[in-house]
Chain A
Amino acid sequence: MGISRRRGRAPSLEPVAGNGLINRRALLGQGIALAGAAGITGATGAAAEPLKDESWSLAFGEVTPALQTPSRFEKDVTRALSNPKGEMRNSHARTPHQLLNGTITPNALHFSINHCGTPDIDPAKHKLVIHGMVKQPLEFTLETLSRYPLVTRPHFVECAGNSAPMFSSVPLQAPAGMLHGLVSNAEWTGVPLSVLLDEAGIDPAAKWLVAEGADAQFLDRSVPVKKAYDDALVAIYQNGERLMPGNGYPMRLLLPGYQGNMNVKFLRRLKAIDQPAYSYFETRNYSQILPGGKTWRFHFLMEVKSFITQPSLGHLLKEPGFYAISGVAYSGNGRIAKVLVSADGGKSWGEAALQGPVAPKAFTRFVMPWRWDGQPATILSRAWDETGAAQPLRAEFVAARGQTKAPVATPLAFPNQHYNSVTAWGIDSKGEIKHVYA
Chain B
Amino acid sequence: MSTRKSLVAVLLVLGAGAALAESPKLGRPISEADIAQWDIAILPNGSNLPPGQGTAVEGAKIYAEKCIMCHGDQGKGGVAPFYPALVGGQPLTNGIETSKTIANYYAYATTIFDYTRRGMPYNAPRTLTDNEVYALTAYILSLNKLIGENDVMDAKTLPQVKMPNRDNFILPYPDRI
Interfacial chain B residues near A218, Cβ < 8 Å: 40, 118-119
B168 CB to nearest chain A CB (Å): 6
Q: Is A376 an interface residue (CB 8 A)?
A: no
Contact of B118 among A138, A217, A227, A273 (CB under 8 A): A217
Contacts A88-B123, A415-B96 given; indicate if A137 touches B115 (C-beta within 8 A).
no
Interfacial chain A residues near B107, Cβ < 8 Å: 278, 283, 297
Interface residues of A in 254-279 (CB under 8 A from B): 268-269, 271, 273, 275, 277-279
Interface residues of A in 398-426 (CB under 8 A from B): 401-405, 415-416
Interface residues of A in 373-412 (CB under 8 A from B): 401-405
Interfacial chain B residues near A271, Cβ < 8 Å: 39, 41
Classify the interface of chain B: helix, strand, loop or mixed.
loop
Interfacial chain B residues near A137, Cβ < 8 Å: 29-32, 35
Interfacial chain B residues near A35, Cβ < 8 Å: none
Contact A131 B32 (CB under 8 A): yes
| Chain B, Cβ-Cβ closest to A282 | B111
Contacts A226-B177, A283-B111, A296-B172 given; indicate if A129 touches B30 (C-beta within 8 A).
yes
Contact A294 B106 (CB under 8 A): no
Contact A148 B26 (CB under 8 A): yes
Q: A219-234 toward B: CB 8 Å interface, digit per residue (1/0)?
A: 1100010110000000
User: Which of B57-65, B87-95, B133-141, B142-150 makes up part of the contact surface?
Assistant: B87-95
Interfacial chain A residues near B94, Cβ < 8 Å: 293
Q: A139-164 toward B: CB 8 Å interface, digit per residue (1/0)?
A: 11000110111110000000000000
Interface residues of B in 52-105 (CB under 8 A from A): 81-83, 91-98, 100, 105
Q: Is B125 an interface residue (CB 8 A)?
A: yes
Contacts A129-B38, A271-B39, A275-B43 given; indicate if A287 touches B118 (C-beta within 8 A).
no
Q: Which residue, A88, A278, A402, A415, has most C-beta atoms of chain B within 10 A?
A: A278
Interfacial chain B residues near A269, Cβ < 8 Å: 35, 38-39
Interfacial chain B residues near A300, Cβ < 8 Å: 173, 176
Q: Is A13 an interface residue (CB 8 A)?
A: no
Interchain CA distance A149-B14 in the complex, whole Å: 11
Contact A136 B29 (CB under 8 A): yes
Contact A295 B27 (CB under 8 A): no
Q: A287-323 toward B: CB 8 Å interface, digit per residue (1/0)?
A: 1111111111111110000000000000000000000
Contact B169 A296 (CB under 8 A): yes
Q: Which residue, A144, A227, A283, A290, has most C-beta atoms of chain B within 10 A?
A: A283
- Complex A-B: 10 CB contacts under 8 Å: A89-B81, A137-B35, A147-B26, A191-B18, A196-B27, A199-B25, A275-B44, A289-B92, A298-B177, A301-B172
Which A residues fall within an 8 A CB radius of B? 87-89, 116, 129-131, 136-140, 144-145, 147-151, 167, 191-192, 195-196, 198-200, 207, 210, 212, 216-220, 224, 226-227, 268-269, 271, 273, 275, 277-280, 283-284, 287-301, 401-405, 415-416
Q: Knowing that A137-B29, A220-B118, A401-B96 are A-B contacts, what are 11 other residue pairs whose CB atoms are under 8 Å apart, sorted by A's residue number?
A: A139-B29, A167-B97, A191-B18, A218-B118, A218-B119, A268-B38, A278-B108, A283-B111, A289-B98, A295-B105, A296-B170
